[in-house]
Amino acid sequence: MPPSNLNDEQIKMLFEYITKPLRPTPPAGEISKRLIQAPNHSLDGEKRLVKEDVPFETLGFRRFLDPEGYPAITPPWGTLSAIDLNTGEYVWKIPFGEYPELVAKGIRSTGSDNYGGPVVTAGGLVFIGATVFDQKLHAYDSQTGKLLWETVLPFAGLATPATYMVKGKQYLVIASSGGQTSPKPTGGLYIAFALP
């Protein structure tokens, strides 16, 4: 339930409901005393809750990590799969994504967090960015899952790529911005590639 979908009154009501079991409900006027004017966010004088009124924040899930900061389960920690929609069976399933520091130690095929979907071309290529830590854009054979090509983007491509044509030439574009669970810098670029 992203808070951006709720107005301030709804956030206040949700906050009061969630915190009620944790502490006594403040007197009716107490919360309104904590409301402040937010001049950069409202031209009509609307009051807004300040961050100090909400004692918690979350990305929406908690990650279960080992002492080194990696997922505390057996790899692969992320996969890419092709499923036959007629049978519901896997055609192929591969580890997807890597941690560069583990690759430097010779530990590959771990999979990693991934956010973003693939695009499949009529020629049978699967293009996908999505990997948070290695920041790569990949091309796979749609029939076998074999990696055909990859490149490192300036920032992780946590978006579904798009393909388009100009004067009979096919191109692929992806938003390269980073973010999510990666500690690496973020940015905002669109990277386009011409297909051979």
Query: 84 and 164: one domain?
Result: yes
Q: CB–CB of 154/191 below 8 Å?
A: yes
The model carries a pTM of 0.69
In a domain, 147, yes or no: yes
Gyration radius (Cα) of the chain, Å: 23
Total tally of structural domains belonging to the chain: 2
What's the domain range around 28?
3-53
What's the pLDDT at 25? 47
**pLDDT band at 185, cuts 50/70/90?**
confident
Q: What is the pLDDT of residues 35-57, one digit of tens each?
A: 443 333 444 444 454 555 555 55
Query: Any idea what the CATH number is for the domain that residue 133 is in?
Result: 2.40.128.630
